Amino acid sequence: MSDRLQQLLEMHQQSPKDEFLRFAIAKEHEKYGRKEDALKWYLQLQEQSPQYIGTYYHLGKLYESLGEPALAFRSYTTGMEAAKSVGDQHALSELTGARLALGDEEDFE
């Protein structure tokens, strides 16, 4: 385990509801190729903090790397809805672009 990951996990113990820490832990797992661990942290973050918009893009990209394009498409779509609800146009644009790169809705029905 990297020193940075160890530090993040210790910080998470002190602040278990900190959304950024959970996101950073997921990214750190991803950095070292531990995709299943990253997935666990992203899904936990999505469930506990659905308004944390950054989760959806990174979760979608992780699903793409795992060969799960339908799950990626769903993550982008859910993220687009969340971004619209909070008025985050930048995130909406990124999520829309990522979803379009995968294909049309008909490809995932």
Phi, psi of 97 (to 5 degrees): -60, -45
Show the CA angle centred on residue 64, arms to residues 95 and 98, nearest 5°: 20
Domain ranges in the chain are: 3-108
What tens digit of pLDDT does each residue of 7-25 get? 999 999 999 999 999 999 9
pTM for the complete prediction?
0.93
Structure tokens, 54? 């950054």
Asked if residues 96 and 58 have their Cβ atoms less than 8 Å apart, the reply is no
CATH class given for the domain over 3-108: mainly alpha
Q: What is the pLDDT of residues 45-87, one digit of tens each?
A: 999 999 999 999 999 999 999 999 999 999 999 999 999 999 9
Closest CA to 5 of 24, 19, 33: 24
Classify burial at 54, counting beta carbons within 10 Å of its beta carbon; exposed 0-12, middle 13-18, buried 19 or more: middle
